[in-house]
Amino acid sequence: MSSHFREIFRRISALAFQLRNFRKERFECPICGYKGPFKDICPLTGLRKHAQCPSCLALERHRFQYLVLQSVLAGLNVSQMKMLHIAPEECLRSFFSRQFGKYETADLYMEGVDHKVDIQNLPFTDSTYDFVFASHVLEHIPDDRKAIQEIRRILKPNGIAILPVPVVAERTIEYPQPNPYEADHVRAPGFDYFDRYAPWFSKVKKYTSNCLPAKYQLFLYEDRSMWPTTEIPLRPAMQGEKHIDIIPVCYAQSASKQ
């Protein structure tokens, strides 16, 4: 199916979903402009309400990231910058490719990327990229500290890396082996996880989803009091059904200060 017909199909599907769910709460997707109810989804970790845009299929984190990117990139000469997008999300690829002068993608397993690479041992020379984006990647990586070091190594002075992970615990918990019921996560990142970035970046600015307009629905609506379960035995229970998300924006030190 061509991209044009795929887009038409998505729009028709979104309209049909909207008509079937006209009583549901309405939101707005900042990525595609859709206005209406969002889809509930049910991954193996449990039901998430108001999660997915039925038009572009963006999840809570994608909408949040898009809004933060608008702020971070404002005032930068992005057309002259070179970007690496690791584990590229379909709903953000076109945005990045339009913005950056040079846009490249990378993943260890994904088809259709520019570089098949292990993030723990990147093949690029030092100071290759101005901007690196790797969302929900590090929770899959056994030696995540080495991966963070590698990302910093390939960044140019004054470069920027955006490295979000799912915050699903108060404090980070390491797993003895990948959990297939959590998409092979090797840890449950907590609010303390972003401390691991501090040795490699001069500044880490954290954006929280409760600081942006509610109309975009950037929270994670899921009942975490049911954890742990047989499938996810190491995730601790968390109170409440509405949880914030966090995006860390990491700034590399300029050459003059290194």
Encode pLDDT of 228-256 as tens digits: 999 999 999 999 999 999 999 999 987 55
CB-based burial, 217-245: b 16+ in 10 Å, e otherwise: bbbbbbebeebeeeebebbeebeeeebeb
Look-up of token digits 């299929």: 57
Q: Residue 189 belongs to a domain with what CATH number?
A: 3.40.50.150
Domain range for residue 143?
Answer: 3-257
Q: Is 91 helix (H, G, I), strand (E, B) or coil?
A: helix
User: For the whole model, what pTM was predicted?
Assistant: 0.92
The total number of structural domains in the chain stands at 1
How many H-runs (helices) and E-runs (strands) does the chain carry? 4, 13
Encode pLDDT of 45-67 as tens digits: 889 999 999 999 999 999 999 99
